[in-house]
Amino acid sequence: MPTRTWKSSDVPLLPYAQWVFLSRNISKLLYWLQLASATACVVLSLMKLIKHNYGEVAKGETDKRNRRSALNIFYALALAEATLFLLEKAYWEWKVIVCKVLEQVNQECELGPSGMISIKRFFYDAYSRCVEGSIFDGLQMDMVSFAMDLLASNSPDEQLIGVQILRTFAKSERYSEDTLQKIGTTFLVMDRLVEMLNWKDPQEEEIRESAAEILSELAGKKQNSLRVAGIPGAMESISSLLHNNRSSSGAADEICENNIVCDHENYGFWTFNHLGLLILKKLARDHDNCDFNSETISASGEDAGKHDRHHWQTAPKGDF
């Protein structure tokens, strides 16, 4: 009969350590500890202020003559501080849970059901800036600047939050003008959006599509279209949207730039083709971009056409 052996790493010293040390559980624990300490401070301060049992002062002890007044002031200040803290907590609980202030902000920003994650992250970052720096650091934050900062992150989740916010604002009738103006005057953000057009991993498909939609809105403005066309490698990145990487050829270096994309049947190639042509069409409205666009479109068209012909020839009849 085989014997069961256990490694030291398989037997945790504290069975519930992983649950306890989750950041979410730690924050809940600290939250309730704050409430408990503030409540205890209120109770103890009230007891001292009501009873005034500070001890007797002898006739000769002149240095303790003001002890009662000093302790009254001390406990009154402690009571006021703890009471203000509890009132602040109660106010924000009422605003967030009862009045649903986060849902109202999400509705005003038109971010949709998935926008609650972005709204919560924005308020957390604003609060962190107020704590770490000045309260004015948090007051100066806005959703567009917050989203542009997330684009520079190395986390795909933060990048996705950033491009989703910018895409929503860029396509909104209410916020599009100010949003596109702010993006158009920030070279690093535009360069980052152009760079995202070359991301062909299926896990980054939504990021790439959102970046293409933002650039499509930017290209619709004459001043911004000049800035987009002036970014080094912009036309090559835009033309990469026209490439249908599902096809294959005999040469190993012409199969695909990313093997993951080649085998991914649900990848939105035609969506990217449409966005690429839409961006080039908007850029071509400006005569300064026409010469450059014509070369890009002709080169991209030949490549895309070659891939599409091969796709139609090799695809099963049942697919069409």
| For residue 290, pLDDT beyond 80 | no
In a domain, 290, yes or no: yes
In a domain, 57, yes or no: no
In a domain, 170, yes or no: no
Q: Are residues 186 and 304 in the same domain?
A: yes
Mean pLDDT across 256-262: 48
Given this model, what pLDDT does residue 309 score?
46
Question: What CA–CA distance (Å, rounded) separates 219 from 284?
Answer: 9
**How far is CA 312 from each of CA 286, 298, 317, rounded to the nearest angstrom?**
34, 21, 9
> Which range of residues forms the domain containing residue 93?
88-141
Q: Are residues 221 and 309 in the same domain?
A: yes
Q: Which are the contacts of 283, defined by CB distance < 8 A and separation ≥ 6?
A: 219, 225, 228, 229, 238, 289, 293
Question: What CA–CA distance (Å, rounded) separates 134 from 115?
Answer: 27
| For residue 1, pLDDT beyond 60 | no
| For residue 34, pLDDT beyond 80 | yes
| For residue 72, pLDDT beyond 70 | yes
What is the per-residue pLDDT across 81-119, written as a single tens digit (0 to 9) for each? 999 999 999 998 998 888 888 899 888 888 888 889 999
CA angle 15, 17, 23 (to 5 degrees): 150
Rg from Cα positions in the chain: 31
Q: Are residues 207 and 283 in the same domain?
A: yes
pTM of the model: 0.68
Q: Are residues 101 and 200 in the same domain?
A: no
Q: Are residues 102 and 203 in the same domain?
A: no
Pull the structure tokens for residue 143: 């959703």
| For residue 308, pLDDT beyond 50 | no
Q: Are residues 114 and 198 in the same domain?
A: no
Q: Are residues 199 and 278 in the same domain?
A: yes
In a domain, 189, yes or no: yes
Are the C-beta atoms of 198 and 240 separated by less than 8 Å? yes
Q: Are residues 199 and 249 in the same domain?
A: yes
In a domain, 207, yes or no: yes
Q: Are residues 101 and 226 in the same domain?
A: no
Question: What CA–CA distance (Å, rounded) separates 26 from 21?
Answer: 6
Q: Total structural domains in the chain?
A: 2
Instruction: Label residue 18 by pLDDT band (50, 70, 90).
Output: low
Buried b (16+ CB within 10 A) or exposed e, 276-290: bbbbbebbbeeeebe
Q: What percent of the chain has pLDDT over 90?
A: 35
DSSP state for residue 264 in the 8-state scheme? -
